[in-house]
Amino acid sequence: MAVTSNRWVPRALTAVEQEQAKALFEREVDLIVPGSFDDSTGEARRVRAWMARTGDRAPVDTWIGLFDGVRVVGALHAGPHYGQAADVLSSLGRPGAPDARWLRAYIELVGSIEEVAVDPAYRRQGAGAALVRVGVAGLAHRGVRTVSGFASSPASVELFRSLRFTVGGRRQAVPAAFSEGLQTSWWDGVPEDGRYFWKALPAPGAAFGLR
């Protein structure tokens, strides 16, 4: 029997538990396909290596989950926008391109909620909301100023809208003001009902404005 909402206490996932979360994402998130987490294009590795060469350390991704016993039944993954950061990294030094200082700020201050999923047997009990609240609090605690992501289904659109995120319209990109001036774009194969969402974060410890 599914656990009740008052038992939802998200916590950080171990490396082994992250593998359970990835399997959950692959089953339940339409945009995720097997192998998506392998960093096959090396974007995250390139950005982390560049940060290390410049004397900084890339932020650690956020992996949190909810459990029924030892089984992960809900999970959230968040971190920097590595894909966009890798694109900018490739353009450093070109006329009109952002500089290294801007890129470091983008990596450190702009957060991305990459995936959120809950096993179907445990939905409509506040699990998704609990994951997002804890994930957003963690991002704010490490100094992230804005967070955005893509909701690929009507249910996820309603989740983020209920938590007071701004949800864009069809084919509306994340405003540049929420990504240090970088314009988010659409891509082929976007679900018809998918929408971007975004939110400015307060200082750590302040009220988050999440119901």
Domain residue limits at 123: 7-33+41-200
* 160, part of any domain: yes
Looking only at the bridges linking them, the beta strands covering 166-167 and 195-200 are antiparallel
pLDDT reported for residue 7: 65
Going by the DSSP 8-state scheme, the letter that residue 5 receives in this structure is G
* pLDDT of amino acid 29: 87
pTM attached to this predicted model: 0.89
> Per-residue pLDDT tens for 75-95?
999 999 998 999 999 999 899
**Does residue 210 form part of some domain?**
no
Residue 89 resides in a domain:
yes
How many independent structural domains does the chain possess?
A: 1
In a domain, 207, yes or no: no
Of the pLDDT bands very low, low, confident and very high (cuts 50, 70, 90), residue 113 is: very high
Residue 56: other Cβ atoms inside 10 A? 13
pLDDT reported for residue 182: 84
Show the DSSP H helices in 29-171 as ranges.
Answer: 43-53, 82-91, 100-109, 127-141, 154-162
Question: CA–CA separation, 117 vs 23, rounded Å?
Answer: 10
At residue 2, the pLDDT reads 44
pLDDT at 101 over 90: yes
pLDDT digits (tens, 9 = 90+) for 115-144: 999 999 999 999 999 999 999 999 999 999
Assess if residue 211 is contained within a domain. no
Q: Is residue 173 part of a domain?
A: yes
pLDDT at 47 (0 to 100):
95
The candidate with the shortest Cα–Cα distance to 198, out of 170, 160, 171, is: 160
Over residues 138-159, the mean pLDDT reads 93
Of the two residues 145 and 170, the one the predictor is more confident about is 145
C-beta separation of 138 from 64 below 8 A: yes
Q: How far apart are CA 21 and CA 75, in angstroms?
A: 6
Residue recorded with tokens 């605690």: 141
In a domain, 2, yes or no: no
Confirm whether 206 is domain-assigned: no
Domain harbouring 57, CATH code: 3.40.630.30
Confidence band of 33 (pLDDT split at 50, 70, 90): low
Rounded (10°) angle between helices 82-91 and 100-109? 180
